[in-house]
RNA sequence: CGGGGUGUGGCUCAGUCUGGUAGAGCGCCGCGUUCGGGACGCGGAGACCGAAGGUUCAAAUCCUUUCACCCCGACCA
């Protein structure tokens, strides 16, 4: 299925010409900055407020690096503005989630952030949810709430419009901002109060159908996380306030994780990889689920020492910490029954639908990815989510040969379908390298008069630090090859 | 919500104990010298010290109230 139903949120940067007028600057000495794909993304005209020192509020690596790399700015406790660089990554993650959901046959939509309290009174959760729920009142004294999740609302939509089993199975999802008034937000976007989440809801006629939806989600989540360069392990978990019987959480192993986890080390060998999957096939989805969930892997909520020892040989027992980046639930008729979401089956009976809900913490994924991908110098983006695919560093701004080579490289990279970031500032080499390392673009092309005399530029991997000298054409070709199949 | 802590230029902090009217480094602006891993020199701009009240001849500093943010715990995607 073509992932054609989502939109790109980012408009192209304002043309330099219009900025001239807006800024009242009559002249700019730069050469023309338009390419066939749009405006040059040059650092001297971008908004990338990097910090040399770490703001005192940040305790863990991802939070520290997101602040230093100019990705976010705290607006108040647990609430953040997404500055241009952070916004780019957020969008890429969002886009991967959209694509993988739609490949699995799930249908995108969008529900509001503010919900009516009446809907939540129907399910009984208005009173049950507690002070985590942000409650507001409008001018007519109506009770509203800033949604922490959307089971009630989606169930209401479903019951209003679907009445026949013939319309099932159906899975709807959206990616929307949520709010949970955590007592103690921390760790930047990993534990914010406002957060962006993909939440999806399946509607099925029978338990068996609903379990297929559950399995399908598990598969799609494995693929989603792998595309982001993450290993997220499905672990048996507690259902919490959503309720339900079957549930798995997806955890990324990291020392700064909020959950303690226990698992069989064999599980970290598993990858979904490039294999093909037919989402319609119950057998295939079921097989993947069994492959990935048969070994012991639990969060501390469901962990039992004796079972761990029985099922896992001592040398494979691992105890670690993990960041939760997603969760899938089957909860049957918990909402459909009280809220009257029924369909007519082939016998003419009105039966409540079987449901499940499935979430991916989109904004917190940035934190998780950085926790798993950084070093002392900064972030190291996996190719799948990097804000720019390659950084072009001009070591001698103003040198005619270097300037020209950089702009030609820029155009060639754009022609190859990739997005470069061109550091055209009049900084010293060290400052430019430090900035590139900090913001973590996985590939850097360094252009200087010294190399150009021999007709070469330098292509450097952020992850390994390895460099090689190539002609500009070769460098672009190589970068294009690296990204082929990863986007 | 319990316990602890911090609010001083954009950032990191000193100054508070022992009141006398605000400092440093980084960043920013200008000039010059530099220029392949966060350069150096000179000059400059920028803070009514979280807010409100009080004590005092005088408050960043002492007292009261209040707000915000951070950390530990409990809770949580």
A13-57: per-residue pLDDT in tens? 433 333 333 332 223 333 444 444 445 689 999 999 999 998 888
β partners of residue A246:
A330
Residue A224 neighbours by CB under 8 Å, 6+ apart: A96, A97, A100, A101, A360
Nearest partner of A233 among A199, A201, A269, A258, judged by Cα: A269
Nucleotide nearest A51, CA–C1', reads B11
Task: Say yes or no: Cβ of A70 under 7 A from any atom of strand B.
Answer: no
What sign results for the dihedral spanned by CA atoms A198, A202, A208, A212? negative
The stretch A435-456 carries a mean pLDDT of 97
- Bases in strand B with any atom closer than 7 Å to a protein CB: 1-2, 11-13, 25-27, 34-39, 68-77
* Cα–Cα distance, A80 to A14 (Å, whole number): 24
Q: Are A361 and A190 in contact (CB under 8 A)?
A: no
Domains and CATH numbers, chain A: 16-60+388-483 (3.40.50.800), 79-375 (3.30.930.10)
Task: Among A7-16, A180-189, A305-314, A391-400, name the one with the lowest average pLDDT.
Answer: A7-16
Rounded to an integer, the average pLDDT of A143-169 is 95
What is the per-residue pLDDT for A240?
58
| Average predicted confidence (pLDDT) for chain A | 89
Residues 119-178 of A with CB under 7 A from strand B: 132
State yes or no: pLDDT of A189 exceeds 60.
Answer: yes
Question: Residue A94, SS3?
Answer: helix
- Separation of CA A73 and C1' B72 in angstroms? 25
Least confident range of A95-104, A241-250, A373-382, A471-480: A241-250
Do the beta carbons of residue A228 and residue A373 sit within 8 Å?
Answer: no
DSSP A246: E
CB A293 within 8 A of CB A326: no
CA angle A213, A219, A220 (to 5 degrees): 85
Q: What is the pLDDT of residues A224-257, one digit of tens each?
A: 999 999 999 999 887 655 545 589 999 999 988 8
ipTM field: 0.94
Q: What is the per-residue pLDDT for A454?
A: 96
Determine the protein residue whose CA lies at the shortest distance from the C1' of B38. A431
pLDDT of A130: 84
Confidence at A12, pLDDT banded by 50, 70, 90: very low
Instruction: Please measure the distance between the N-terminal and C-terminal CA atoms of chain A and give it in whole angstroms.
Output: 16
d(Cα A193, Cα A187) in Å, to the nearest integer? 11
**Strand B lies under 7 A from the Cβ of residue A349:** no
A319 has which bridge partners?
A262
Q: Is the pLDDT confidence value at A360 over 90?
A: yes
Give pLDDT tens digits for A62-71: 999 999 999 9
């Amino acid at each position: 299925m073509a992932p054609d139903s989502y939109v790109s949120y980012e408009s192209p940067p304002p043309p330099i010409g219009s900025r001239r007028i807006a800024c009242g600057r009559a002249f700019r000495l730069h050469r023309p900055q338009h390419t066939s794909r749009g405006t040059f993304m040059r650092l001297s005209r971008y908004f990338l407020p990097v910090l040399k020192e770490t703001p005192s509020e940040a305790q863990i690596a991802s939070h520290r690096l997101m602040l230093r790399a100019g990705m976010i700015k705290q607006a108040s406790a647990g609430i953040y503005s997404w500055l241009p660089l952070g916004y780019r990554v957020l969008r890429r993650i969002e886009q991967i989630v959209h694509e993988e959901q739609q490949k699995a046959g799930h249908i995108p939509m969008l529900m509001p952030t503010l919900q009516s309290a009446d809907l939540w009174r129907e399910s009984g959760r208005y009173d049950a949810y507690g002070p985590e729920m942000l409650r507001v009142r409008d001018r007519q004294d109506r009770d509203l709430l800033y949604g922490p999740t959307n089971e009630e609302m989606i169930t209401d939509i479903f019951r209003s419009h679907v009445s026949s089993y013939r319309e099932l199975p159906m899975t709807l999802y959206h990616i929307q901002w949520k709010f949970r008034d955590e007592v103690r937000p921390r760790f930047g976007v990993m534990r914010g109060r406002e957060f962006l989440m993909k939440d999806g809801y399946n509607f099925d006629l029978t338990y068996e159908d609903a379990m297929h939806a559950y399995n399908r989600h598990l598969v799609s989540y494995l693929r989603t996380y792998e595309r982001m360069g993450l290993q997220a392990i499905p672990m048996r978990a507690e259902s919490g306030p959503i309720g339900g019987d079957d549930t798995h959480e997806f955890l990324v192993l990291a020392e700064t994780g909020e959950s303690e986890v226990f698992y069989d080390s064999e599980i970290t060998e598993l990858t979904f990889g490039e294999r093909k999957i037919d989402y319609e096939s119950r057998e295939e989805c079921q097989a993947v689920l069994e492959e990935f969930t048969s070994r012991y892997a639990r969060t501390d909520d469901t962990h039992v020492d004796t079972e761990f020892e029985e099922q896992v040989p001592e040398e494979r027992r691992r105890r670690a910490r993990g960041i939760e980046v997603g969760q899938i639930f089957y909860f049957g008729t918990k909402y459909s029954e009280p809220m009257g979401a029924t369909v007519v089956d082939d016998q003419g009976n009105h039966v409540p639908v079987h449901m499940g809900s499935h979430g991916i913490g989109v904004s917190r994924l940035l934190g998780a990815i950085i926790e798993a991908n950084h070093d002392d110098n900064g972030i190291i983006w996996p190719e799948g989510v990097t804000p720019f695919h390659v950084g072009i560093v001009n070591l001698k701004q103003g040198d005619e040969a270097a300037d020209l080579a950089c702009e030609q490289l820029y155009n060639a990279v754009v022609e190859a379908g990739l997005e470069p970031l061109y550091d055209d500032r009049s900084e010293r080499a060290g400052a430019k390298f430090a900035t590139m390392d900090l913001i973590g673009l996985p590939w850097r092309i360094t252009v200087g008069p010294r190399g150009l005399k021999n007709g070469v530029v330098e292509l450097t991997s952020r992850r390994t630090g390895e460099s090689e000298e190539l002609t500009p054409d070769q460098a672009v070709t190589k970068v294009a090859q690296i990204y082929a199949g990863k986007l």
